[in-house]
Structure 1
Amino acid sequence: MKQLETYLSGKTRFLLLLLSFVFVSMESFAFQPSDIKFVEYKGEVVNARNGKPISSAYLALNNSNISTITNADGQFSLKVPEDLTDATVTVSVLGFQSKTLPLDYFKSSNTVIELEETVQELTEVSLYKATNPNLLVKEMLSKKDENYLTDQSLMTSFYRETIKKGWNNVSLSEAVVKISKSPYNSPKRDLVSLYKARKSTDYDRLDTLALKLRGGPFNTLYLDMMKYTEYVLRPEMIDSYKFEFDDPTKINDRYTYVVNFEESDKSDPWYYGKLFIDAETSTLVKADYSLNVDDRDAAAAMFVKKKPNGAKVYPTELNYQVDYAQDNGKWHYAYGKAQMDYVVNWKRKIFNSKYKINSEMVVTDYQEYVSDDWKKSADLIRPNIVMVDDVSGFYDSDFWGSNNIIEPEKSIQNAIDKIKRKIEE
């Protein structure tokens, strides 16, 4: 019982980071320039069979740590230093055969990359040896120290956070962040600094209510299930989950087990989803999961830290994704995404307000941690940060410089264009 109480306390502490409905407050952050010379390539990744765009496709520049990911429309932007003209790029995503292409295949715009769907042959399925999903998950957790980064590293990441009220974008936050990523075998927590950021919120559309998403980049960083096992897959709580095998698949041409999981105890909001485990090394390489919030009162108590009088606030849907990448035989956090839907009911209003909150972060580069010198100019942020409005970054079309970002999808680009028009008025 004590273990269960500790687990629930840890889950609650994590979830309370996520949301507060309160009036506006401010935090500050630093801006720093970047002057690296680079070449930018743009395009989209599509299904070779039907031409449909493929979201969350991972593009990695080989023999480097540079990478990016496609947006919801399958589009990408990849910035490469000028001296890496002879490089190759590997494109991979769940359910498709990976493809490696020379950099000269890419163009400054309208590059189209077609990926073939993965066809699983029976002879390939027979190569899978695991027969007990519980034991496989326990082995996955026991091999964390062996399979994941054991050296401290300094990662560069791009973070985006959007809030929609109904169909309208009401808030857009974007930032390049530096992450001091501690080893996976260390209890030491990661440090984060804002390197460059911009944010705009339309408070008129928020009905004088400021929705503050606490945590900023930490919301997606804490989705690193293998670093922060206490939030979802705490080893000593594994027996409180139900596991079963789903059909196997391939990720980046590697055979992968798919394990469905869900919590047995449903007295509180409970996790369920899929774990994608590398068949050769028993490494978690991807997870798609959700939190069941059918119990509105319990979910509101867990998620909503503050709210105005006369309002009832509760989440209706929460979905998460985390992806890992491999380098020199070691895996590390590469991408995290959280999608959260909320409803606000007001006492004296007939209609409620519905909010959709999306946050995502992709690691675009990383290097070996050499010293603490970076901290001298870094603006370290706290896990409960609330990013402040600063529209100055929307003036500059080259605001991000050489930093790789997630290409804005159509609705986000429309929001950026609208912000620019307001600035010019």
Structure 2
Amino acid sequence: MEFNQYSGEVKDQSSNKSLVFATLAIEGTNISTITNTEGNFLLKVPKEFIHKNVVVSFLGYKTKKVPIADLAPEKNEISLEISVTQLSEININAPKDALALVKETLKNRDNRYFDDPTLMTAFYRETIKRRRRNVSLAEAVVNIYKTPYSSFKEDAVELYKARKSTDYSKLDTVALKLQGGPYNTLYVDMMKYPQYIFSEEALSNYKFTFDRSTRINDKVIYVIRFDQHPGISEPLYQGELYIDVENKVLTSAIFSLNITDRNKAAQLFVRRKPAKVDVWPTEVSYRVDYREKDGKWFYGYGSVFMEFKVDWEDKWFNSMYSMMAEMAITDWENNLTGKTPRYRERIKKSIILSDEASGFSDPNFWGEYNIIEPEKSIESAIRKIQRQLRRAERNSE
């Protein structure tokens, strides 16, 4: 398939601030991408769609349509205008009970979210940093066999393409690895997997309150804050739910683990460690964004950020490591036959992607597949890796 490639940045029109995780979708198709943590995007458009618009949306901003024909191959700047919500708009039929709205939204998933089997193409990236320096990178294109939201069957994931590099010399003799790969981000889909945070029994552990209102795609969105009740010692969650109040749909959620007891938190995340070292998380945060097509919503993006402190018994200083895993749906199609990969072709939930993937290859590795634009620090790390590979090839000749 022939395609054109466009890159650039999405910004706030008045402040010129970069907008992180803004969505760019080709109008009338299922092809999309998101901006990275620096507000930059990379969008690959099949030539049959270059006469269409790219629809750019971001929470709290007016959605903008830009003709693809007007885009340059590089250095595009797309500015979005803040959407001001009038108080009169949000007082009409406003719900008075935050918990009741959350319960109604969770019950609404069978009606408002995808009710057909769907085959999704997704780009997945995980990075491990020691302080601010990348020490491990892994990227993959995966196929997700998404079951209907009304189904209790779990989604299946198949690895299509992957690449990685790990510089163990910078890992301070601790080989930090992330188990679960794409499943870490897939299970953040709380409308598909409410049992991991908002099961019916778990709802009573939280206090839900109205926080503020905003807009997305010209719809009024209520922001509901949730916190675990004081007196509960188990590490639970706190954060914000973004609910389309008219349709009772969860459009986004941003939340984190409430680390009140570092030992209990460590038991949740640390599988194996050396005897003379303490490892515990100092931050664990999550994000999920949903997208809408023809009145039905679906998982569009998920991310997990984890920060760990590594304290050696015989060293003066401890080390800080962070892990970031993110996955964006870049295309999808109905899977009406319900076909799924055979079990031996599926990614296991115990996968460590950096052990499965091969080394970084040429810049055209991903071909026509949309990916999340790499951050500048990751780009420089990849260039360094590629130089090392070329040097190694020359030395072997």
> Does the CA-based 8 Å contact 2:156-2:341 persist in structure 1?
no
Give the Å deviation of 1:37: 1.4
Name which of 111, 117, 120 aligns with 2:76: 111
Give the Å deviation of 1:141: 1.0
User: 2 CA distance for matches of 1:384 and 1:85?
Assistant: 41
User: 1 CA distance for matches of 2:306 and 2:363?
Assistant: 30
**Equivalent in the alignment of 1:19:** none
Name which of 161, 175, 178 aligns with 1:213: 178
1:295 equivalenced with 2:257 (yes/no):
no
**Equivalent in the alignment of 1:231:** 196
1:43 equivalenced with 2:43 (yes/no):
no
**Equivalent in the alignment of 2:208:** 243
TM-score norm. by structure 2 comes to: 0.95
TM-score norm. by structure 1 comes to: 0.89
1:388 equivalenced with 2:388 (yes/no):
no
The letter of the residue matching 1:288 is I
**Equivalent in the alignment of 1:375:** 341
Cα offsets for 1:177-210 (capped at 9, x unmatched) = 0000011111100000111000101111112321
User: 2 CA distance for matches of 1:390 and 1:187?
Assistant: 29
Look up the SS of the partner of 1:120 in the other structure: coil
User: 2 CA distance for matches of 1:262 and 1:177?
Assistant: 34
Q: Which runs of 4+ in 1 moved over 4 A?
A: 389-393
Give the Å deviation of 1:117: 1.2
Cα offsets for 1:153-190 (capped at 9, x unmatched) = 00000001000001211000100000000111111000
Equivalences for residues 167-316 of structure 1 within 5 A: 167-264=132-229, 266-316=232-282
Q: Given the superposition, is the C-alpha separation of residues 128 and 44 from structure 1 closer, same or farther in structure 2, using an over 3 Å criterion?
A: farther
Indicate the RMSD between aligned Cα atoms, in angstroms.
1.6
**Equivalent in the alignment of 2:112:** 147
The letter of the residue matching 2:101 is L
Cα offsets for 1:23-76 (capped at 9, x unmatched) = xxxxxxxxxxxxx21111111101110212111000111111000000111110
Equivalences for residues 52-63 of structure 1 within 5 A: 52-63=17-28
Q: Given the superposition, is the C-alpha separation of residues 131 and 102 from structure 1 closer, same or farther in structure 2, using an over 3 Å criterion?
A: same
User: 2 CA distance for matches of 1:217 and 1:69?
Assistant: 17
Equivalences for residues 318-337 of structure 1 within 5 A: 318-337=284-303
For these two proteins, the number of residue pairs brought into alignment is 390
User: 1 CA distance for matches of 2:296 and 2:275?
Assistant: 50
Q: Which has the higher contact order (CA 8 A, sep 6+)?
A: 1
> Does the CA-based 8 Å contact 1:393-1:399 persist in structure 2?
no
Look up the SS of the partner of 1:136 in the other structure: helix
Unaligned runs of 5+ in 1: 1-35
**Equivalent in the alignment of 1:420:** 386
The letter of the residue matching 1:423 is L
> Does the CA-based 8 Å contact 2:165-2:359 persist in structure 1?
no
Identity of aligned residues (%): 47
Q: More deviation in 223-232 or 89-98? A: 89-98
1:359 equivalenced with 2:291 (yes/no):
no
User: 2 CA distance for matches of 1:376 and 1:309?
Assistant: 39
